[in-house]
């Protein structure tokens, strides 16, 4: 593998240059409380002081609100203009769990059905991952064969080691970027830094407080759709939908039209949540998930079974955001543990 080194002191200049040449998304701390990925105009807006962002970077590819078309109706003719911009983009600072979540979204938006809005962004984006510096109490990415320094799915993977960043060049897209900004990417001490990265990874692997074992959990869900256990779980749920909005792999959306007077309008798609009662409400009034029990069950079935059934990929990446943000402490790792016990006790 091709590896490089960037001096820490030169990172702001590199990011400034990337912001000039690309649409650059990077982690930003808003109101001194919430870290999220936003388009930035330079390094001074970026924060690197975060364990993982509060809001996942999925919005760089699948925005929370996205205009998809505009229309004009002249009476005789309906004119539709597709809004699908092609912008060369770099996303800097994505953690390994979130890179893995993008791989989980790929077959949803670019599989049997091709969503041009997502695909366009995905193809035009270079992903620069950033290894973790510490492990949060809610993290459990190792349960899904990943880890805090796993660069799989990134084009370039940066790992901060003292006053340097060790850089792994994982794809052709990554190599193109390195060549274009070669003044920032040195080749000195890379063997030594590779060893330091392995040490760093080992140190972090000892920081996980959640030991999550998924063995047998999917089999329990495969064989028990009507599990009485869900009666116990759903009672606490407020149906607020926070867990789905912060989740990097949740991808449901709604579409609505905003009219500007009688003859023109815009079409938008917005994130939606399976935790809301009207998510599955049909026009005739029937709702196949009539209570919060069916909605909660659906969410965990999606994370631990359906995504695997459909795409042979994990529907959860162990980022821990739903655990950290749920106002009533519904914890997917506790549910995994309980489901294992159900399997063991029959």
Residues in contact with ligand SF4 by CB under 6 A are 237-243, 246-249, 275, 303, 316-322, 326-328, 330, 332
Is 160 in a helix, a strand, or coil? strand
Q: How far apart are CA 128 and CA 126, in angstroms?
A: 6
- Count the Cβ atoms, other than its own, within 10 Å of residue 207: 13
Min separation Cβ 250 and ligand SF4, Å: 7
Min separation Cβ 179 and ligand SF4, Å: 34
| Beta-bridge mates of residue 255 | 269
Min separation Cβ 44 and ligand SF4, Å: 30
- Comparing CB distances to ligand SF4, the nearer of 6 and 247 is 247
- Comparing CB distances to ligand SF4, the nearer of 322 and 339 is 322
- Comparing CB distances to ligand SF4, the nearer of 93 and 248 is 248
127: closest CA among 111, 105, 143? 105
- Comparing CB distances to ligand SF4, the nearer of 185 and 245 is 245
> What kind and span of H or E run contains 11?
helix 11-21
| Neighbour order of strands in the sheet with 264-271 | 78-82, 65-73, 264-271, 253-260
- Comparing CB distances to ligand SF4, the nearer of 74 and 329 is 329
- Comparing CB distances to ligand SF4, the nearer of 151 and 248 is 248
Is 275 in a helix, a strand, or coil? coil
Min separation Cβ 106 and ligand SF4, Å: 15
Q: How far apart are CA 305 and CA 308, in angstroms?
A: 5
| All residues at 6 or more sequence positions from 64 whose CB lies less than 8 Å from its CB, including other chains | 245, 270, 271
Min separation Cβ 148 and ligand SF4, Å: 15
Min separation Cβ 50 and ligand SF4, Å: 16
């Amino acid at each position: 593998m091709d590896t490089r080194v960037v001096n820490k002191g030169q990172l702001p200049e590199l990011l400034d240059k990337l912001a000039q040449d690309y649409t650059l998304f990077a982690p930003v701390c808003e109101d001194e409380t919430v870290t999220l990925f936003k388009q930035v105009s330079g390094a001074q807006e970026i924060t690197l002081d975060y364990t993982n962002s509060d809001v996942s970077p999925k919005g760089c590819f699948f925005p929370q609100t996205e205009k998809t078309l505009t229309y004009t109706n002249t009476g005789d003719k309906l004119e539709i203009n597709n809004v699908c911009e092609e912008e060369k983009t770099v996303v800097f600072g994505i953690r390994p769990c979130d890179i893995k979540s993008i791989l989980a979204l790929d077959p949803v938006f670019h599989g049997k059905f091709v969503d041009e809005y997502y695909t366009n962004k995905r193809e035009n984006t270079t992903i620069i991952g950033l290894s973790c510096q510490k492990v949060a109490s809610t993290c459990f990415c190792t349960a899904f064969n990943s880890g805090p320094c796993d660069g799989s799915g990134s084009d370039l993977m940066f790992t901060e080691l003292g006053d340097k960043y060790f850089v792994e060049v994982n794809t052709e897209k990554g190599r193109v970027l390195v060549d274009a900004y070669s003044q920032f990417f040195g080749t000195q001490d890379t063997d030594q830094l590779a060893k330091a990265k392995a040490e760093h990874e080992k140190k972090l692997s000892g920081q996980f407080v959640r030991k999550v074992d998924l063995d047998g959990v999917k089999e329990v869900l495969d064989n028990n759709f009507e599990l009485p256990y869900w009666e116990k779980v759903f009672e606490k749920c407020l149906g607020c939908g926070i867990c789905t909005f912060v989740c990097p792999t949740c991808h449901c959306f709604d579409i609505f039209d905003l009219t500007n007077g009688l003859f023109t309008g815009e079409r938008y798609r917005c994130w939606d949540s399976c935790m809301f009662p009207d998510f599955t409400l049909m026009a005739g009034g029937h709702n196949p998930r009539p209570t919060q029990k069916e909605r909660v069950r659906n969410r965990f079935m999606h994370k631990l079974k359906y995504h695997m059934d459909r795409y042979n990929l994990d529907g959860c990446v162990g980022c821990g955001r739903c655990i950290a943000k749920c106002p009533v402490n519904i914890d997917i790792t506790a549910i995994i543990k309980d489901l294992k016990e159900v399997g063991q006790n029959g």
